Amino acid sequence: MGARHRSLPDRLVRRRLASLAAGARPDHLGVPPAPGALWDAADIAGAPLPDVATTVRGRSPDGGAAVVDFSFASRGAGTHPGSRTVRGRLFRAADPLAPCVVLVHGLAADRPAFEERLARREWRWGRSALHLVLPAHGSRRLPGRRSGDAFLCADPAATRANLVQATLDAVDCVRWLREQGTRHVGMVGFSLGGLVACLAATRTRLERMVAVTPPADLAWTGTRLVVEGLRRSLGLDRVSPAVAEEQLRGVIPRFLTPCTRPEDIGLLAAGRDEVVGSGPVLELARAWGVGRTWLVPRGHLTALVGWGRAGELVAFAQGQAAPRRRPLPLAPASAADAPLL
């Protein structure tokens, strides 16, 4: 697809990606761990629950519901202060049995503004919602760097570690919610957050999960689609797709088995996505046999236009009936009918 056909929002995203810092390249790539070994080393199931610090930021007029800022120590802590502490905000409904959705933002987001608006809407409707800050982003960014710098790294071992940490942080938010008595916990991730949501779904049983335009295969996207500047800084201009896949296999969801039931998973692909591509999302849907796959004729950043579109996905994650309006189109069953871009 030629540059003149690219949507303006996707061109802006690609320009932002091209400017991301990726850190130093290793002298040699080394032998990556098998996917199972990578995640076994994280010890997700046997870890103690985090000790969560909370601060109430606001309450509903009747005092039953509250907005709570939270923080806890990350199990994938790095070396700089921002990497050691998970931060986020919980919009807690008055009903302790109300469902809760965990919202996960995309790459290079300065703050989860979109997720904040969605969370507030859920709160007004009597449901709970939580959003968190991913490692290397916002208040957790590296000193002297911009939000998102060095999350995707020239050293694939560091990229794997960052994705494992982000997944651990999201899973621990789920575990904290369940400790408080929340029975239904869903998750919705956007772009990079969609990949984190997919990985979280392989580490814990989520009642529902939705990933919106996730980079479902970083090796495919990195060697075929990303802008030249980012490809060079990541060192992906020097390796074959097969080598990239070998290095990143542990964080490519289709090589993992979901703990979340396939019928409780939804994936949204954008047919004109020039940032991560739609092909890997549809391939993941087929590999996992997911319950719902949407394919929209839009770009990466414009996949969801209007609150009704986002509302349908959040409603699915919350286990609620979708709004009464024209639903998002489902993807074709045949791979031959599904575009790569």
Per-residue pLDDT of 80-112, as tens digits, reads: 667 889 999 999 999 988 999 999 999 988 888
In which band, very low, low, confident or very high, does the pLDDT at 326 lie, cut at 50, 70 and 90? Answer: low
Q: Angle at Cα 128 formed by Cα 127 and Cα 132, nearest 5°?
A: 150
In which band, very low, low, confident or very high, does the pLDDT at 334 lie, cut at 50, 70 and 90? Answer: very low
The answer to whether the Cα torsion of 159, 164, 167, 172 is positive or negative is negative
pLDDT value at 338 more than 70: no
**Section 30-46 average pLDDT:** 84
pLDDT value at 141 more than 70: yes
pLDDT value at 307 more than 60: no
> How many Cβ atoms sit within 10 Å of the Cβ of residue 286?
14
169 or 78, higher pLDDT: 169
Q: pLDDT at position 336, please?
A: 38
Q: pLDDT at position 79, please?
A: 66
In the chain, pLDDT over 70 holds for what percent of residues?
91
Q: Which numeric CATH code is attached to 7-332?
A: 3.40.50.1820
281 or 45, higher pLDDT: 281
Alpha carbons 170 and 186: distance in angstroms, whole number: 11
Per-residue pLDDT of 119-135, as tens digits, reads: 999 999 999 999 999 99
What does pLDDT average to over the chain?
A: 87
**Section 219-228 average pLDDT:** 86
**Section 327-341 average pLDDT:** 55
**Section 3-31 average pLDDT:** 74
Alpha carbons 192 and 226: distance in angstroms, whole number: 14
Query: Which of 1-15, 140-154, 186-200, 242-256 shows the lowest mean pLDDT across its residues?
Result: 1-15
Domain boundaries, the chain: 7-332
